[in-house]
Amino acid sequence: MPTHAGHFRSALLGSTTAKVLNGADCPVLTTQHAEMMVPRSLQHREWVCGIDLSPCSEWVLRFASNAADAAGATLTAIHAVPTREANGPIQFDLDEEAYSSVALAARLELDKLQKVSGFRTQVRMALGPVKEVLLEVARRRDADVLVIGRGSGDGPSGRLRDLAYGMVRDAPCPIVSI
């Protein structure tokens, strides 16, 4: 589904796309409007998956791993340890022991998640605002696809959280949101 059409509406997500993302129980692929896209080589196959520690993380990681395998892509999984500063610096490849007990606890949970999901590649960690970390990793890896979770459909806001909305709107590549 296209995320927006034209420069004026680039700060907005199309209303139809937002409704589908909010209500769909299936994965949804979103990308910039086709008229604004530059075709890419089919040889490049790099996928990034953002992992949090929510109950649906196992499903997101398993989906990303299976889909990347089917596409013949390399998958990089990343977990962002949020900072208190909204515009703080991003630190990649954290040395968890030097950072905090939060990062250590996250590493233990991520290790458990990998065992349960069968995902073999290590989930990397970064410190910084979650949206900015994931979008920067997608840019640095020149990702073809970014896989993220949208959350559950519980509550009045549905499945589309503010973070997912912003990522879908601002992503440098197509997003599959689960």
Instruction: Classify residue 36: in a domain, yes or no.
Output: no
Instruction: State the total domains in the chain.
Output: 1
Instruction: Classify residue 4: in a domain, yes or no.
Output: no
Instruction: Classify residue 19: in a domain, yes or no.
Output: no
CATH code at position 62: 3.40.50.620
Instruction: Classify residue 113: in a domain, yes or no.
Output: yes
Instruction: Classify residue 5: in a domain, yes or no.
Output: no
178 residues of the chain, pLDDT tens digit each: 777 644 444 445 567 777 888 888 889 888 875 555 565 665 668 999 999 888 889 999 999 999 999 999 999 999 998 877 767 778 886 665 556 777 788 888 998 998 888 887 878 899 888 899 999 999 999 999 999 998 765 554 444 466 887 888 888 899 999 8
Rounded distance, CA 64 to CA 70, Å?
A: 10
Instruction: Classify residue 96: in a domain, yes or no.
Output: yes
Domain containing 164 equals 44-177
Instruction: Classify residue 26: in a domain, yes or no.
Output: no
Specify whether the backbone of 156 is left (phi greater than 0), alpha (psi in -120 to 50) or beta.
alpha
154 contacts 123 by C-beta, under 8 angstroms: no
- Smallest Cα–Cα separation from 149: which of 56, 15, 36? 56
The reply to whether the predicted model has a pTM over 0.75 is yes
pLDDT per residue over 30-76, tens digit each?
A: 887 555 556 566 566 899 999 988 888 999 999 999 999 999 999 99
Instruction: Classify residue 35: in a domain, yes or no.
Output: no
